Structure 1
Amino acid sequence: MAQDRFLDRRDAGRQLAARLLERHGWPDTTVLALPRGGVPVAYEVAYALRAPLDVFLVRKLGLPGHEEVAMGAIASGGVRVLNDDLVRRAGVSERAIAAVEAREQAELARRERAYREGRTPAPVEGRTALLIDDGVATGATLRAGLQALRSLSPARAVVAVPVAPPEACRMLETQADEVVCLFTPGDFMAVGQFYADFHQTTDDEVRDLLTRAASLHPTQE
């Protein structure tokens, strides 16, 4: 049985935008995309909501020796969050944390330069921040993103994704002010399972969409 629910990420974004507009209005909203795959989805949402679009870069801080375990994260806007209990239990030194953070900060800065091309970050403080990706598997990146996003003092932090397993949506609901999961299949195996076209989004595509969005909402010059 075919599992495709979306033609591609742009189609998913249009469908997601329609669902968001059905729920309520979105005044004073900034749309934040997790690159790279979240950007085409978020572009369509930002266009429909007439809201500014920006990337929200999140880099996991892996536990030394067990890098798959997140001891924290850094994100756009100079944000750092740490799981202090995990750090204490694992006995991770400040020096070790600093080494991991420096490595991830270098990559985050590289991506910031590559994607923003000199534009300043879109406003978040006191606004509704709508955090978007092309789908959720475990939700670890979005959880880290939400933690980091809170440090920027949005009025509300909302997650919207085209597809996610039910348990991931329930988990995100414990952290976000609102969660919109367009499609929550019980037989979820991978995000790409629900797209007819799930080619890797390139840096050039990200830059092009952000440039187009900035021309519609020139708040980041």
Structure 2
Amino acid sequence: MFTNRSEAGRLLADRLADRLAEVHVLDPVVYALPRGGVPVAIEVARRLRAPLDLILVRKIGAPGYPEVAMGAVVDGASPQLIVNEDVFTATGGDAVGLARARHRELAEIERRRIRYLGDRPQISPRGRVAVIVDDGLATGATARAALAAVKRQGAAMTVLAIPVAPADLVEEMRQYADVVVVLEAPREFWAIGPFYTDFHQLSDDETVALLQETWAAADASPPSGGVTE
């Protein structure tokens, strides 16, 4: 369906620009969920002429099923924990294991902050339209955590922009975001990867290179003009 994440980002950006124009959003901030969301968000930020930042979220895998999201934790002064109660119960999750996983993933978040951002200041969503971008949704745990975090930090409006997600999850996510834009919402869905020809796992080095190139270009450009038709 998509050649790679960058193509998905360009297609998503066109759809999103139209939707934001409909609701008169002129000055959004784009937040990528790394690592896979970074190439998608770069294209979105470029199309919207919006600043690009990261929101650092880590999935908490279910016991014995690490690819199944039992929950997610998001960075912040008071880290936000989102638990998928159905998965937590069905896979035999327990409070002690959840606390250990939370601690472990917060350590990984801190490592990524240092590696990806260095001393670059993050952009506050307070009073802004926060656009959360990833390469797809499977359970929605990381997206829900990200949306909860920017709301708690004072975002005036939240937008979730995703290339692909299962149809039932798209409807559920409308409870958590003010605007949801999804390019493809199949009713039969097993994983995100099959919807991409190239869905390789991005390395830290690749992610950092993409971010540095994008930020260098943005820092050298005139001030943003906001969403364009």
TM bucket by the smaller chain? 0.7 to 0.9
Equivalent position of 2:170 in the other structure: 169
Partner of 2:130: 129
Residue aligning to 2:58? 59
User: Paired residue for 2:88?
Assistant: none
After TM superposition, the score normalised by the length of structure 2 is 0.79
Report SS of the residue matched to 1:146: helix
Asked whether the equivalents of residues 79 and 151 of structure 1 are also in contact (C-alpha less than 8 Å), the reply is no
Task: State the partner residue of 1:202.
Answer: 203
Given that residues 165 and 185 in structure 2 are in contact (C-alpha distance below 8 angstroms), is that contact kept between their aligned partners in structure 1? Answer: yes
Compute the displacement of 1:214 (Å).
1.6
State the alpha-carbon separation in 2 of the partners of residues 12 and 35 from structure 1.
15
Displacement, 1:45?
0.3
Say what the alpha-carbon RMSD is for the aligned residues: 2.8
Matched, 1:28 2:27: yes
2:110 aligned partner? 109
Q: Which residue of 1 aligns with 2:90?
A: none
Residues 74-153 of structure 1 mapped to structure 2, 5 A cutoff: 74-82=73-81, 92=95, 100-153=101-154
Cα distance in 2, alignment partners of residues 31 and 17 from structure 1: 11
Deviations 1:8-65 (A, max 9, x none): 0000000000101122334221111111110000000001111111111113467999
Q: State the TM-score, normalizing by the size of structure 1.
A: 0.82
Q: CA deviation at 1:99?
A: 5.0
Distance across 2 between alignment mates of 1:38 and 1:128: 18
Call closer, same or farther: CA 1:99–1:162 in 2, change over 3 Å: closer
CA distance in 2, matches of 1:158, 1:47: 17
Unpaired runs of at least 5, structure 2: 86-92, 221-229
> Structure 2: how far apart are the matches of 1:97 and 1:194?
31
Sort the Cα spacing of 1:66 and 1:28 in 2 relative to 1 into closer, same or farther, 3 A. Answer: same
Give 3-state SS (helix, strand or coil) of 1:186's partner.
Answer: coil
**Identity rate, percent:** 44
Q: Following superposition of structure 1 onto structure 2, how do residues 42-53 of structure 1 map, counting pairs within 5 Å? A: 42-53=41-52
Matching residue within 4, 26, 29 for 1:8: 4
Corresponding pairs, count: 208
